[in-house]
Structure 1
Amino acid sequence: MKKSLFLIILKQKFIDMKKLTVKEKLPGFIGLLALIFTLGAFMISCESKPPENSRATQITKGKAHFDQYCASCHSEGGAGPAADTLEVKPADLSQIISRRKSKEFPVMEIARYIDGRQFVAAHGTREMPIWGEVFSQQEELSETEIKGKLGELIAYLISIQE
């Protein structure tokens, strides 16, 4: 008759650790250390820090871009510290969706407007900097980096819509 593994385990006597030599305890100790280091590494990798491409990270980076490039004119509902020096009042960027009938954020339109390099002079003058040129020429960013920066900025703008 076959004995079940469960019964065999139940009948095993516990090892008396006091009777073991250091040499006999060493493999178990090394295994325990390996387990502790593995669990520690796992816990560190599970920190609450969002991945680089997560929405939360994009919004955080976008807010930093907004603070650096846009807030002087567009903060406080379009009444930032530099707004009084402009002929045309800057837009309140927290109201982009509420001003539209579609109630959807116009991602591509806003990205092209911020970039500014595709606008023709026939559309009138523009007090807002052509950020695509600034990012390309002054900051020497690649097209991919420019699109990434614009994407992060737009993620932030979407997050502040009222």
Structure 2
Amino acid sequence: MKSNDTVLANNDRGKALYNQYCASCHGVDGKGTGYVVPALKKAPPDLTRIPFENGKFPSLRIHQYIAGELTVAAHGEKDMPVWGMIFRRKYDNTRKELDIFAITRYIESIQQK
């Protein structure tokens, strides 16, 4: 597989995971327009306009939010994020990290200027 093919495959994986775990709140387009928004107390942020830090996408910070290492008030308690325990399975740490990386890269790919 060529490196461009690998990047596309990883982005497809990230998009599929995003759609499965994030789109219900953040919307398929990432703009915070998911189908559960009317039931939420606080509107989810637009993930297509994440502020850059020192001119770069904050990959580590986004990764930490997805992994549950940083708290997001709208997600509730750290022990019960909206997406469940799937990303914190200790018995499958490599896959967890790869999945979180894929979602992070996908979110980076949908950034608008």
> Could you say which TM-score interval applies, normalised by the shorter chain?
0.7 to 0.9
SS at match of 2:75: coil
Find the partner of 1:153 among 103, 106, 112.
Answer: 103
Distance 2:82 2:56 in 1: 25
The amino acid that maps onto 1:126 is H
Distance 1:95 1:150 in 2: 19
Q: What is the CA deviation profile of residues 59-101 of structure 1, one whole-angstrom value per residue up to 9, with x for unaligned ones? A: 11000001111111101410111112111110111111xx345
TM-score, scaled relative to structure 1: 0.55
Distance 2:45 2:108 in 1: 15
| Counterparts in 2 of 1:150 and 1:132: CA distance versus 1, 3 Å | farther
Matches within 5 A, 1:124-143: 126-127=75-76, 129=81, 131=83, 133-137=85-89, 142-143=92-93
Find the partner of 1:66 among 13, 18, 21.
Answer: 18
For structure 2, the 5+ residue unaligned runs are none
Q: How many pairs align? A: 106
Q: Equivalent pairs: percent with the same residue? A: 31
More helix by share: 1
Higher relative contact order (CA 8 A, sep 6+): 2
TM-score, scaled relative to structure 2: 0.76
Q: Is the 8 A contact 2:32 2:43 kept in 1?
A: yes
For structure 1, the 5+ residue unaligned runs are 1-44
Q: Which has the higher Rg, Structure 1 or Structure 2?
A: 1
Distance 1:126 1:155 in 2: 21
RMSD of the alignment, in Å?
A: 2.9
